[in-house]
C-alpha cells in the first residue's frame, strides 16, 4: 500500500489470489484505517505488481541463511543431524 495523493491509496498485489484474499478483509481494514486517520474521503486504487512476489522460506532455507552468518552451525548440523525438512 502506498499513499499517492491526499485522498488516494494505491494497493498493489502480486496475483489475483492475493487480491481476492485482500478483498475478503478489506472492508473491515479500510473502515478501521478511515477511523484511525480520521479521513473518510480517501479512495482505493488496485494495481497488479509482479515484482512483489514473496519467496516461501522453508526451514532448510532459513538454516542455510544462518549458516552463511555463522558457519559453525553447519558443523553442529553434521554432528546433531537436524531434521530440517
Q: Is the pLDDT of residue 22 over 80?
A: yes
Whole-number average pLDDT of the chain: 85
CA distance 23 to 38: 22
Structure confidence by residue, pLDDT tens digits, 37-46: 888 888 888 8
* pTM of model > 0.75: no
Can you give the pLDDT at residue 70? 93
Kindly report the number of other CB atoms within 10 A of residue 13's CB atom: 19
User: What are the sequence ranges of the domains in the chain?
Assistant: 2-50, 55-85
Can you give the pLDDT at residue 53? 67
CA distance 9 to 59: 36
Angle between helices 72-80 and 59-69 (to 10 degrees): 130
Can you give the pLDDT at residue 34? 87
Question: Residue 48 in contact with residue 12, Cβ under 8 Å?
Answer: yes
Q: Is the pLDDT of residue 23 over 80?
A: yes
- Nearest to residue 49, comparing CAs of 10, 22, 21, 23? 10
Amino acid at each position: 500500500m502506498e499513499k499517492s495523493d491526499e485522498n488516494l491509496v494505491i494497493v498493489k498485489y502480486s496475483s489475483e489470489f492475493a487480491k481476492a484474499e485482500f478483498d475478503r478483509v478489506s472492508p473491515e481494514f479500510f473502515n478501521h484505517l478511515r477511523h484511525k486517520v480520521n479521513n473518510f474521503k480517501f479512495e482505493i486504487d488496485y494495481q497488479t505488481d509482479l515484482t512483489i512476489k514473496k519467496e516461501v522460506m522453508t526451514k532448510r532455507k532459513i538454516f542455510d541463511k544462518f549458516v552463511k552468518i555463522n558457519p559453525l552451525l553447519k558443523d553442529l548440523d553434521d554432528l546433531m543431524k537436524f531434521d530440517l525438512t
